[in-house]
Structure 1
Amino acid sequence: MAKKRTLLHEDPRWEDFSDDFAGDLVGFAIDVVELPPTPQQITLYNSVAPSRSMVSVSSGHGTGKTTALATIVLWHMLCYPQSITLLTANDMAQLKATLWKEIGLAVERIRRGPYGWLAEHIEILANGQMRIIGFPDTWFVESKTANEKTANKMAGRHGEWLMIIGDEASTLPDAVLTTLRGALTEEHNRMLLTSQPTRNAGFFYRTHHDLSKLNGGDWTPLVFSSLESPLVSDQALKELWDSYDDDERRVRLLGQFPQESGKHMMNLPAAEAMYRRGRIIGDDEPYGWVVLSDIASGEGLRDKSTVVVARIIGYGERGPDARRVEIVTVPVLTNNVRSNRFAGLVAESGDPYDGVTYVVDSGGLGINVCQDLEDMGKPVHRVNWGNPCFQNKNKDRYMNLRAQAMHQAARAAKEGRLSILTGEHRKTMLSQSSRIPKTFTDKGRIRVPPKHSKEWEGMPSPDLWDAVCFAFLEGLIYTASQEGDGDGRSLGDSLESEAEALFDDVV
């Protein structure tokens, strides 16, 4: 007859273990998981450990948040009998790829350490669940996507030892977090929210403001800056700091909420400065010519087809090779040209210039224009800026090519690398360029909201500014004009090195 399995609470070692670590999360991390915590993690552990704790963590990159969450999940499950831990997030696939991966690694560290016997009582399932063997319905960890249906189900679970953890909580629906908060009815219940601070509204934002203990509320607000984390090297910090704008630094590095003034890519004074700075590309530099075209998609009088002619030089986003652009002329801004004639207008716009690259929005009717230009033998760069970026650094930073191009154009305008040399359609250019909305995704990536959403505040399609932004698209390669003397390198040498620089970060 098979010997009956000893359950966790029956193991004579468990009671002493629970007595030692139930109130000592820092000690659990050091002695049980054998992963010495950073000062920021110690602050988090000490804040979470007390019963009835409600903690909200606003965090930048590289603060060890995910590793700390894995330790907290295991601490709560192993130290408290019949405990229930509920994990929720908007992106369950990401949760499984990050937090559940860290949980698995932590279990293996426990297995190899002095408390290895605990690991024999843990069963990790494939569907984002974990349980103490022998207690499938009463002693477990489960994860659910954040929506009202799952929130009501999760809130229906009660117990003396209940903990709710919301990851990337800045984007979790307020109704979900309010429902889950209302489920914490017993003495030893806890709730923990963690996120990059991507928006100035919502439940997570309020836990750091009117709901925080600093304002008489229940929530302990913690702010973890990448600059104070020993897990991020000084070199990495400097590179990120130099590449980010002010709002990105606040959100992605400092763990602070974006400034209200940061809801647009740039403001009106920055846009007006583009008209005052004059030439920024020397005649002796190896610049190229681009004709940038955005094709109306049939939205009526508010939607216009656009052609912009520009000089362009550089492939970087900062330093001496940072891209510089001069807008020379805007020959077309109209809703009166049929799409089957538009390719001819685009080609004519580039005829006076040497080595022109034609950059054309290929969505909707634009695909026909691209094909017509290609049939003419013109070099065409098709724009599909709803697509994701292809360089790893930009995949992590931007939701798609649209966000990348618009953000880089705005940054160039603010840094003096974008100049408008023509007064054509100035009023339209200023209105559009200064009102492009900017938000952040749950991962802190820059995002341009869908057109006609509330963030656009009734603004019509910014066709003119769209075309200008094409000049800053990742992967746009131009041909150096023979008009400039350059630096002595052959055109082939220049293009080869520039192409290598563009693609060296692609997997």
Structure 2
Amino acid sequence: MAKRRSKATLLSDPRYDAFVARYYADALAFAVEVCGMIPSEDQTDLLIEIASPGSKVSVVSGTGTGKTATFGRIVLWHLLCRPYAYYDGKVEIGSNAYVGAARLQQVADGVWKEASDADIAIAAGPFSWLRDYYTITKTRMFVNGFDAQWFVAQVAMEKGQSIGIAGKHRMHQLIIVDEAAGVDDAHFDVIEGTQTQEWNCTLLASQGVRAAGYFYRTHHDISRGDGGTWEALTFSSERSPFVTRDWLAARAHESGGPDSVEYRVRVRGEFAVNESEYLMTSVQLEACFDPSRIIGDDEPYGIMLLSDVGLGEYRDDSVAVFARVCGNDDDGPDARRVEFYAIPLCTNGRDEIDFTGDLAALFRSVDRPMLYVDAGGAGHAVCKLLEREGIPVVYVMWGKPCFKREYQDRYVNQRACAQVRMRDAVRSGRVRFPHGLSRKMRQKIISQGSRLPYHFVERGGLKYQMASKEDMAAVGIKSPDVIDAMSFAFLEDAVYIARDSCGASARRQEQINELDRLLAAADSRVPGEDGEMVEI
């Protein structure tokens, strides 16, 4: 936004004293009368609470509640309505406000955008004269002529780094921390040491992505309700005028119902009290061994060959799984259905050359499969070797962010997207596991699938994040290689070549015969976990 300059200062404008007298202690009136805001009930509560001297307010919020919009009006109120402080026989000109988050970009995308929107509303109202006296840049807001004394600044609050407000003191000082649940607790110690004067105000806000840490405590043992100093507010999407009934219904459907952890955090503004739960249960996975078919031979299904490559790294297995796949959506009549019908490879005793040869033989054994291979670590070499063999391969890079906006808003990366989508399919009966597996392999699938720890993070919204392999290993959970490979069928860009129904049964029988031949050959040469033979 272009800077606006005036030879006169805000303090010399004859209208300013009356303006300050009206709004100095009334952020709600400022938001309504100066910015043209029509606040919701939750927004009203926040605007009233933050205007109290020395206020400490903590907001746990669902999505679409207008929380960030309120922040944008609050920072402008604090900038424009707090010009003087008198103490110790001196006059202090100006106010300071700092807006921080674990990710600084979140501040720019959120609070700064809302403040700029409020600035436009001010220009269209009766207080447009104010705009001659302040400037909003991409990273800073300030009163013209007092750039160093009277401002709003952005501060990064990354883990392990000190923050720019350390040692800063001013009578009129406001600190706002967005995405507060993701901010390291050490930063709050700095804030407490900074906010020492009677008009210092602190505002924290976040979704309740974890039931631990300082932000969680501001709603529990250090809240006013428990004898502490923090006023704890809850913004619920269910009572927000900024979301529709259809939106709420869609969130309930995609999250597994209004009692699911995701819905309670994303919509109701509650804390994820069981944030360390696993994606799937053993009971849900057992049901996937149902021998009934969910894809008919006369349907236009496709074949996928899915491979997670370990090659002995961290004693991980390299796995190949065959699947019949039909459908593309997350729900409805075209929801993705997957029948995993064979696990021809599960070994930690093959090198890149040998495993590439195994995959190549499997690929050529069926008609028009789509081959998806984990391209991380040793898998990258396998992908390159397959391409040299003239075999088309899709590189799975599931640490990357999702492409679709709806998935970006819900998942940290491709891995979280694929595994949560697989969970949803398991829950709704759209997955079948292979028949005739050994008891050991069957138990491996159940054990791996029922031990996929996840949690939520707030990164521009509530998102699923799967535990890393390092974090899983730290609590004794082995790499879920078979389940990882299976979940490739639920990657957002996992496509298949649909075959027509004509002759599908005959082709299927031919493929089964060829696969049986390959499996029989593999029995004599493919070692499994700890070197013993794998019975598939």
Work out which of the residue numbers 246, 252, 269 in structure 2 matches 1:241.
252
What is the match of residue 78 of structure 2?
Answer: 76
**Is it true that 1:121 corresponds to 2:133 in the alignment?**
yes
Work out which of the residue numbers 264, 270, 280 in structure 1 matches 2:284.
270
Cα contact 1:278–1:421 (8 A) shared by 2: no
What is the match of residue 494 of structure 1?
Answer: none
Note closer, same or farther for the CA distance 1:483–1:362 as it changes in structure 2 (3 Å cut): farther
What is the match of residue 415 of structure 2?
Answer: 402
CA apart distance, 1:69: 0.3
- 1:376 & 1:152 partners in 2: Cα distance? 53
Alignment-mate amino acid for residue 143 of structure 1: Q
CA apart distance, 1:135: 2.1
What is the match of residue 510 of structure 2?
Answer: none
What is the match of residue 376 of structure 2?
Answer: 363
The correspondence of residues 54-65 of structure 1 with structure 2, limited to 5 A, is 54-65=56-67
- 1:41 & 1:200 partners in 2: Cα distance? 24
- 1:52 & 1:28 partners in 2: Cα distance? 19
- 2:9 & 2:291 partners in 1: Cα distance? 75
CA apart distance, 1:467: 0.5
- 2:193 & 2:458 partners in 1: Cα distance? 24
> What runs of 5+ residues in structure 2 fail to find an aligned partner?
1-5, 84-93, 505-536
- 1:167 & 1:84 partners in 2: Cα distance? 17
- 1:110 & 1:222 partners in 2: Cα distance? 28
CA apart distance, 1:68: 0.6
Alignment-mate amino acid for residue 129 of structure 1: R
Deviation digits for residues 139-159 of structure 1 (CA, Å, limit 9, x no counterpart):
211111014787564131212
What is the match of residue 478 of structure 1?
Answer: 496
Cα contact 2:304–2:369 (8 A) shared by 1: yes
Cα contact 2:320–2:343 (8 A) shared by 1: yes
Work out which of the residue numbers 444, 450, 466 in structure 2 matches 1:428.
444
- 2:371 & 2:136 partners in 1: Cα distance? 54
**Is it true that 1:446 corresponds to 2:459 in the alignment?**
no
Alignment-mate amino acid for residue 371 of structure 2: Y
The correspondence of residues 68-217 of structure 1 with structure 2, limited to 5 A, is 68-81=70-83, 82-126=94-138, 128-147=139-158, 151=162, 153-217=164-228
- 1:115 & 1:414 partners in 2: Cα distance? 56
Alignment-mate amino acid for residue 227 of structure 1: E
What is the match of residue 46 of structure 1?
Answer: 48
SS at match of 1:95: helix
- 2:179 & 2:453 partners in 1: Cα distance? 22
CA apart distance, 1:312: 1.3
CA apart distance, 1:88: 1.1
Percentage of matched positions with identical amino acids = 39
SS at match of 2:289: coil
What is the match of residue 10 of structure 2?
Answer: 8
Cα contact 1:144–1:150 (8 A) shared by 2: no
Alignment-mate amino acid for residue 201 of structure 2: R
Note closer, same or farther for the CA distance 1:83–1:58 as it changes in structure 2 (3 Å cut): same
SS at match of 1:320: coil
Alignment-mate amino acid for residue 431 of structure 1: S
Alignment-mate amino acid for residue 95 of structure 1: V
Matched residue count: 481
**Is it true that 1:463 corresponds to 2:475 in the alignment?**
no
Alignment-mate amino acid for residue 388 of structure 1: P
Alignment-mate amino acid for residue 468 of structure 2: P
The correspondence of residues 16-31 of structure 1 with structure 2, limited to 5 A, is 16-31=18-33
Cα contact 2:156–2:163 (8 A) shared by 1: no
Note closer, same or farther for the CA distance 1:311–1:74 as it changes in structure 2 (3 Å cut): same
Cα contact 1:340–1:368 (8 A) shared by 2: no
Q: Bigger shift: 268-277 or 306-315? A: 268-277
What is the match of residue 498 of structure 1?
Answer: none
What is the match of residue 528 of structure 2?
Answer: none
- 1:278 & 1:148 partners in 2: Cα distance? 50
SS at match of 1:157: coil
Cα contact 2:311–2:348 (8 A) shared by 1: no
- 1:318 & 1:259 partners in 2: Cα distance? 28
CA apart distance, 1:190: 0.9
Deviation digits for residues 326-377 of structure 1 (CA, Å, limit 9, x no counterpart):
2212111111112102123223335554332222112233233334444555
Cα contact 1:355–1:480 (8 A) shared by 2: no
Cα contact 1:274–1:416 (8 A) shared by 2: yes
What is the match of residue 35 of structure 1?
Answer: 37
SS at match of 2:43: helix
Work out which of the residue numbers 43, 57, 67 in structure 1 matches 2:69.
67
Deviation digits for residues 274-315 of structure 1 (CA, Å, limit 9, x no counterpart):
224643223332222211111115425x21100111221110
CA apart distance, 1:471: 1.0
- 2:311 & 2:177 partners in 1: Cα distance? 41
- 2:408 & 2:337 partners in 1: Cα distance? 23
What is the match of residue 493 of structure 1?
Answer: none
Deviation digits for residues 181-235 of structure 1 (CA, Å, limit 9, x no counterpart):
2322221111101112212211111111212222121111112122221112333
- 2:249 & 2:40 partners in 1: Cα distance? 21
Note closer, same or farther for the CA distance 1:236–1:392 as it changes in structure 2 (3 Å cut): same
- 1:346 & 1:484 partners in 2: Cα distance? 28
SS at match of 2:423: helix
**Is it true that 1:285 corresponds to 2:299 in the alignment?**
yes
> What runs of 5+ residues in structure 1 fail to find an aligned partner?
487-507
Note closer, same or farther for the CA distance 1:293–1:64 as it changes in structure 2 (3 Å cut): same
- 2:503 & 2:63 partners in 1: Cα distance? 44
What is the match of residue 350 of structure 2?
Answer: 337
Deviation digits for residues 25-60 of structure 1 (CA, Å, limit 9, x no counterpart):
221111111122122211211121211211111112
The correspondence of residues 250-329 of structure 1 with structure 2, limited to 5 A, is 250-260=264-274, 263-276=277-290, 278-300=292-314, 302-329=315-342
Q: Bigger shift: 66-75 or 287-296? A: 287-296
Cα contact 1:170–1:205 (8 A) shared by 2: yes
Q: Bigger shift: 156-165 or 257-266? A: 257-266
Cα contact 1:283–1:484 (8 A) shared by 2: no
Q: TM-score of the superposition, structure 2-length normalised? A: 0.84
Cα contact 2:209–2:275 (8 A) shared by 1: no
Q: TM-score of the superposition, structure 1-length normalised? A: 0.89
Alignment-mate amino acid for residue 485 of structure 2: A
- 2:321 & 2:445 partners in 1: Cα distance? 12
Alignment-mate amino acid for residue 132 of structure 2: E
Note closer, same or farther for the CA distance 1:149–1:15 as it changes in structure 2 (3 Å cut): farther
CA apart distance, 1:125: 3.4
What is the match of residue 500 of structure 1?
Answer: none
Cα contact 1:286–1:485 (8 A) shared by 2: no
Cα contact 1:164–1:192 (8 A) shared by 2: yes
